[in-house]
Amino acid sequence: MTIDKNQRELGKPSLVTGSRVGIVVSSYHRDITGKLHSGAVETLKSVGIADEDIFTAWVPGSWEIPLAAQRLLDTDKWDAIVCLGCVIRGETTHDQHINTTISNALGMLSLDYSKPVAFGVLTCNTLDQALARSGGSVGNKGVEAAESVLHMLSLFEEIGS
Which residues are catalytically annotated? 94
64 marked as part of a ligand binding site: yes
On whether the CB atoms of residues 36 and 25 are closer than 8 A, the answer is yes
133 marked as part of a ligand binding site: yes
23 marked as part of a ligand binding site: no
Q: Which amino acid does the sequence have at 126? A: T
- Angle, CA 83 vertex, CA 78 and CA 89 arms, to 5°: 170
3-state DSSP assignment of residue 56: strand
Cβ neighbours of residue 154 under 8 Å, at least 6 residues apart?
13, 14, 16
87 marked as part of a ligand binding site: yes
52 marked as part of a ligand binding site: no
Residue 158 has what DSSP assignment?
H
91 marked as part of a ligand binding site: yes
Phi, psi of 96 (to 5 degrees): -65, -40
Where is the binding site for 5-amino-6-(D-ribitylamino)uracil, in residues? Answer: 28, 62-64, 86-88, 119
Where is the binding site, in residues? Answer: 28, 62-64, 86-88, 91-92, 119, 133
Where is the binding site for (2S)-2-hydroxy-3-oxobutyl phosphate, in residues? Answer: 91-92, 133
